[in-house]
Structure 1
């Protein structure tokens, strides 16, 4: 009987808590974001210069504390080089998963600043001009860090411009030669986030 009384007392408390979380003015627990960006290489890849590229991605965030959230998502970026294989322009596609923590704090009015740090679980695909994959590095761990702003567009939507640094080290095999390489670049872009 005591257990039944405890359950009977707990149910209304849970309902009150659920209603309170749904009230206007409380911070949404979840958000989703889609983004696009330009990618500027910061070093050569296996001795080859890379051209400026770009990419896109999506992530989901869950708020752990008022200013701290965990994120996880997927991203794709592409850059080109004419120096890995003489006479050929090759596309370097790195894609895979991102995960980490994001700190966000009000700066001025409704504008917030954010910092992000986390890991990558990506692979690099090398494609020829016909779009055929001539090498896949296999997935491996890398890291990223970034900063930017959250500019609200109403109560649920926001623009999230920002800058990030991303780095991934993998072996690349092109033309029968395997070389250890590090793909590193800075992205500048903007996302659209939706809170729920």
Structure 2
């Protein structure tokens, strides 16, 4: 009788351990950013950045995610650059495609809590907008390459509005809207 209890407890423990595997994921996503509009008469050049996120699968195809990212843009014909960085969080839906069990589509909808830093060419801070809320939407693919590793090419649209003091307390409202193409590398555990 004691052996049966031990076996039952072992089966329950093993079953719950197996079910809990691969609920967490970590992703590193470098990207190239294409601004959707100009900045007060100046052209914003293509930007570059990266993001690091951690995700948790709480339903079969539904995950939450939380992360931090940094994106840098130059302003054409100007001695200024700006940097957007801060936090991202939201929900992601990953569902296998009928083509292959290793290929899934990915959809994310979330918020960002970022700030904009305006800097001169020497990297000296001109102004920091302070953190504020924005939003993002993303779609892409999740391709399993083995041993719980995935490649995640995706296209994202991100929007953030903040006020910045440029010269002698002249405040301008800056709307940063851009498309970002990234290639994430993800590990689930």
Q: TM-score, normalised by structure 2?
A: 0.89
8 Å contact from structure 1 (residues 46, 180) kept in 2: no
1:97 aligns with 2:87: yes
Q: Which residue does the alignment assign to 1:4?
A: none
For residue 138 of structure 2, what is the aligned residue in structure 1?
Answer: 146
| 1:112 matched to 2:107 | no
Shift of 1:155: 2.8
Partner of 1:6: none
How many angstroms apart in 2 are the aligned matches of 1:97 and 1:74? 4
Runs (5+) with no aligned partner, structure 2: none
1:24-63 equivalences under 5 Å are 28-63=22-57
Which digits, 9 at most, give the CA deviation of each residue in 1:107-153, with x for residues without a partner?
12110000000000000001101111111000000000000001111
* In structure 2, distance between residues paired with 1:160 and 1:78: 22
Structure 1 residues not aligned, in runs of 5+ = 1-8
Does the CA-based 8 Å contact 1:115-1:147 persist in structure 2?
Answer: yes
Q: Is 1:19 matched up with 2:14?
A: yes
- Inter-CA distance 179–17: structure 2 relative to 1 (3 Å threshold): farther
User: 4+ residue stretches of structure 1 with deviation over 3 A?
Assistant: 15-18
Name the count of aligned residue pairs: 180
Deviation of 1:82 (Å)? 3.5
- Pair 1:48–1:148, CA change in 2 (3 A): same
User: Which of 58, 65, 72 is 2:66 aligned to?
Assistant: 72
Q: TM-score, normalised by structure 1?
A: 0.86
